[in-house]
Amino acid sequence: MSVKSQDTPLTAKDFGSDQEVRWCPGCGDYAILSAVKKALPETGATLENTVFVSGIGCSSRFPYYMGTYGLHGIHGRAMAIATGVKLANPELQVWVVTGDGDGFSIGGNHMLHAIRRNVDINILLFNNEIYGLTKGQYSPTSPKGQRTKSSPYGSIDYPIHPISVAIGAEASFVARTVDRNLKHMGEVLKRAAEHKGTSFVEIYQNCPIFNDGAFSYATEKETKDDTTVYLEHNKPLVFGPDNARKGIRLNGLDPEVVDLGDGVREDDLLFHDEAAEQPSLAYLLSRMHHPQFPEPIGVFRAVDRPTYDAMLFEQERQAFEKQGEGTLEKLFDDGETWTVTEEEAHS
C-alpha cells in the first residue's frame, strides 16, 4: 500500500494489483488489461481517484487485477453502480468493465440509461459474442445460426449490435477497437478517458475456449486490411492493402465499397466526421458488418453534451447560492408551525 509521491510518474505496473490473474491462457482480456494499465498513467489518472466497476462474467473480474479502487458488482448492474459512484464523488474517474451478456442482455436497460444520461463514466464492452463464464452459451451478440451448448441446432436469436444501440441511446462518445491492436486500443482508451460524458468502447475480444476466432477476420494479418476500415476524423474511409486500396462511397443513403483508381478518387469517398451534430453518419457506419463491408474501427462519434453529473452539481450549486446552505431549523419549519407554551401544556 505504498503511496508514490506526486513527483514520480505512475507506470503501468503501479496500476496492477497483487492478485493472480485467472483468465484462460490466450484470453483477449489479458491484452485489454495490459492496454488499460498502460493508458491510465498517460491520462494523468491516479490510483486513488480511479474506480473500476464491473458486473458478472469473465471480463468482470477485471477490477481485482487493478491497483485502483474496485467494485465487482452483480450481473448486469455495473452501469448503475458506476452511476452511483460518480454521483457520490464526481472527482473520481470511473470505469465500467462489462461483457456482451452482462452489458447487453441482463444489463441492457442500465446500459441504455447510463448512456442517455451521459454520466461521465467510461464503459468498456468486452465483446466476445459468447457466454464464457457459464461455459459457452450464445450471447445477444452471437451471430444467428451459431451453434453453442444452448443452441445445438444454431441460434435463432437475431444479434444486437452494441454500437448501433449506443448511438440509438444518444451516446456522446462511441468507439470500437480490437484486443489484438494494442496501440489502437491505447489511443481509444485515452480518448475515452478524456471525453466528458459516457464513453462507450466496444472491444472485439477473443474467447479462445468457447468462441475462438470469432473476430479473426478483423485481427489476422492475411485478412484484416480488407475487413476493417480505420476511422479518422475528417478523412475519407479508405482501406485494403497498399496494392489494392478501396474506399467507402455513399450511394444515395447507402454505403458501397469501391476500388480506388479508375476514376474514383479519395475526394469521392465518404469522409468521416466524428463530431457531426446528427448521429446518422455514425449509425450508418455502425451498420457496416463483415463480410459485406469492412468493419469500422476507431471513434464513431465524439460530441460535447453536458454531463448528468455536471448538471446535477450545477443545480446543487445554484440551490446553495439562492437558498444558502440548509439548516435543520429551516428544514423542519414548513411555515405552518404552531407553538404550545409551557402554560398551555400544563393548563
175-214 positions binding another protein, by CB under 8 A: none
For another protein, the closer of residues 48 and 220 by Cβ is: 48
SS (H, E, C) 174-202: EEEEECCCHHHHHHHHHHHHHCCCCEEEE
Sequence length of the chain is 347
Contact letters for another protein, residues 315-334 (x by CB under 8 A): xx-xxx-xxxxx-xx-xxxx
Q: Please select the residue that binds another protein; options are 31, 82, 189, 248, rule is CB under 8 A.
A: 82
- Binding span for another protein by CB under 8 A among 35-43, 231-239, 287-295, 339-347: 339-347
What is the C-alpha to C-alpha distance for residues 40 and 52, in angstroms, rounded to an integer?
A: 12
- Residue 277 or 321 with smaller CB distance to another protein: 321
Task: Output the smallest distance, CB 49 to another protein, in A.
Answer: 6
Residues 4-63 touching another protein, rule: CB under 8 A, are 17, 19, 46-54, 56, 63
C-beta of residue 76 within 8 angstroms of C-beta of residue 106: yes
With contacts defined by CB under 8 A, name the span among 147-155, 194-202, 262-270, 311-319 that binds another protein.
311-319
CB 291 within 8 A of CB 228: no
* Cβ nearer to another protein, comparing 26 with 326: 326
Q: C-beta of 72: minimal distance to another protein in Å?
A: 3
CB-based contacts of 86: which residues, under 8 Å, 6+ apart?
Answer: 92, 94, 119, 120, 121, 309
Site of grid cell 437558498: 323
Smaller CB separation from another protein, 5 or 243? 5
Cell of 173: 462518445
CB of 79 to another protein, least distance (A): 8
Is residue 71 near another protein by the rule CB under 8 A?
yes
Q: In angstroms, give the least distance from the CB of 14 to another protein.
A: 10
**Smallest distance, another protein to C-beta of residue 265, A:** 48
Q: Which of 21, 42, 64, 196 binds another protein (CB under 8 A)?
A: 64
Query: Which among 68-76, 126-134, 211-219, 223-231 is the span making contact with another protein, rule CB under 8 A?
Result: 68-76
Nine cell digits for residue 199: 464513453
Q: Quick one: 83 or 141, whose CB is closer to another protein?
A: 83
> What are the b/e assignments for 215-238, b being 16+ CB within 10 Å?
bebbbeeeebbbbbbebeeeebbb
The rounded Cα 148 to chain-centroid distance in angstroms is 26
Interface residue with another protein among 16, 41, 69, 288 (CB under 8 A) is 69
**Which residues ranging from 85 to 124 are in contact with another protein (CB under 8 A)?**
85-89, 91-92, 109-110, 112-113
* Residue environment code for 132-168, b if the CB has 16+ CB neighbours within 10 A, otherwise e: bbeebbbbbbbeeebebeebeeebeeebebbbbbbbe
Going by the DSSP 8-state scheme, the letter that residue 93 receives in this structure is E
What one-character DSSP code corresponds to residue 20? P
Q: Which three cell numbers stand for residue 44?
A: 494523468
Give the distance between the most distant pair of CA atoms in the chain: 106
CB of 197: closest distance to another protein in angstroms?
17
